[in-house]
Copies of this chain bind each other. A is one copy, B any other.
Amino acid sequence: MTGDVGEATAASFLRSALAADSAVFPLAGFPAWLERQREQQRLEVRRIPFAALDQWHFAPDPCRLVHRSGQFFSVEGLRVETDFGPVRSWEQPIVNQPEIGILGIVSRSFDGVRHFLLQAKVEPGNIAGIQLVPTVQATRSNYQLVHGGRSPTYSEFFLQPGRARVLVDRLFAEQGARFLRKRNRNVIVDVDQDFPVEEGFVWLTLGQVGQLLRVGNLVNMSARSVLSCALPALDGANALAGLAAPGPFGASLLESLQAPGGVQSQAELLDWLFGLRARHRMRLQAVPLDRLRGWVRAEDEIRPESSAHFSVVAVDVTAVGREVARWSQPLLLHPATGLNGLLVQRIGGVLHLLVRACLFPGNDELFQLGSTVSRADVDKLAGAPDAPAFLEHFIAPPPERVRYDALQSEEGGRFLRYQSRYLVVELPQGQAVDLPANFRWMTVRQVATFNHFGCVNIEGRNLLACLDFSA
């Protein structure tokens, strides 16, 4: 009764976040293990013209880039019109992959500390080869075996009733700027029994994952998204009273996770978010991929006429190592390094995060909550008149104000070596900040509550996963 399960789970997540190492798999052994995985899984990736794609072609009416099977995903053209923001209409390519997939992590208690089973996996777009991904990453076609083959390892824990206890099960949107209405289940289950751990899988505490998140480009985007759910909210936050963080920033995070209110109440924050959703409009229209206004279709690239932004390219992939395979596929190329930045500040003694309401064409719901700044093309914008709000705080932040700084990359199955600098910067107490209408200060508990209701976008979720309770 009265939320015991939710509170016990929440406490187990936070205790795991405070466990910086573990005897189950000590981090000291991680570099050697990673090296072994890298040897076993390598991909050779080279760009090719679209005409050299094996199973992919441009289908007509309207022109779009599709797989011969009709499965996987397609790249389509989209026209966007809105009454919000500095740019009111544009055209762009977008990835259409309407299936809901599973991003699932198996967890288990060892000596009273919850560990999470992650998998070493290589994707063609990855920067450093192997990354740690959820226990299971499966599209609906995957796990329903539409393409034949065997079901993904450990998928039974997510698909067969009674095999595991669900701790978190959410439906979250992917990048709304690049995917059209793509959503995935983000699931964490508890397995209360021994089972064989296959080569390439590893049990880690959240504190260990936190150490690896500091390295950069090691814990993939999907894993970060799922782990954002480990920040408890609602009744879960009641259970944290006995916990203590080793350092001042972690202590601020824990306090903010338990604070009963913030500079605004949750009710006022809902007023603000729903008010934006009610007042603004976005209209989408399919357009042929070869006639996108402002874009050029070349032999090996669909790219913007002017800016750097992003382009659609094709790659040929050869897997070498224990398995040999070869395929080709489209990927999205972002030539610049992006920025995913979060400003935080102690206000009234409680740490607050500066959250931005974002409108992206691919999201079902107008306006989700995101980080303070998230931009692909940030390099050229610093100091420009159309620079995004608060960008200046992330250009050369004083080192003593930086609470997190690492390069993290987007999902390597769709993005070709696209990385962003993730930065958490703390403003001095009392420094006044003018808030544009689509920004609000929120406590960690308030952001986590919005996250559990599916209102935080993937950039925001990824930064939540990088908040370091051990700092």
Contact = CB atoms under 8 A, between A and B. Distances in A.
Interface in A449-470: 449, 452-455
A274 B235 contact: no
A271 B166 contact: yes
A236 interface: yes
A274 B454 contact: yes
Interface string A156-182: 000000000010111100000000000
A449 B10 CA distance: 19
Interface centre among A170, A238, A272, A455 (most CB of B within 10 A): A170
Nearest to A8: B265
Contacts of A166: 271, 275
Given A364-B364, A449-B234, A6 B274 contact: no
Chain A contact-residue range equals 35 or more
A7 interface: yes
Contacts of A234: 265-267, 449
Contacts of A5: 264-265, 267-268
A185 interface: yes
Nearest to A238: B260
B1 A274 contact: no
A430 to B, nearest CB: 14
A169 B274 contact: yes
Interface in A1-32: 1-7, 9-10
Contact of A267 (B2, B232, B263, B274): B232
Interface string A249-268: 00000000001111111111
Contacts of A454: 274
Interface in A404-429: none
A429 B65 CA distance: 60
A278 interface: yes
B171 A278 contact: yes
B235 A2 contact: no
Given A185-B278, A265-B235, A3 B270 contact: no
Contacts of A350: 1-2
Interface string A357-380: 000000011000000000000000
Nearest to A2: B261
A293 interface: no
Interface in A112-127: none
Nearest to A281: B100
A10 B267 contact: yes
Contacts of A262: 1-3
B278 A100 contact: yes
Contact of A169 (B271, B348, B449): B271
Interface in A180-208: 183, 185
A233 to B, nearest CB: 8
Contact of A270 (B170, B267, B270): B170
Interface of A: 1-7, 9-10, 100, 166, 168-171, 183, 185, 232-236, 238, 259-268, 270-272, 274-275, 277-278, 347-348, 350, 364-365, 449, 452-455
22 contacts: A1-B263, A1-B348, A1-B350, A2-B259, A3-B260, A3-B262, A5-B265, A6-B261, A6-B266, A7-B265, A166-B275, A169-B270, A169-B272, A169-B278, A170-B271, A170-B274, A234-B267, A235-B261, A235-B267, A274-B454, A364-B364, A453-B455
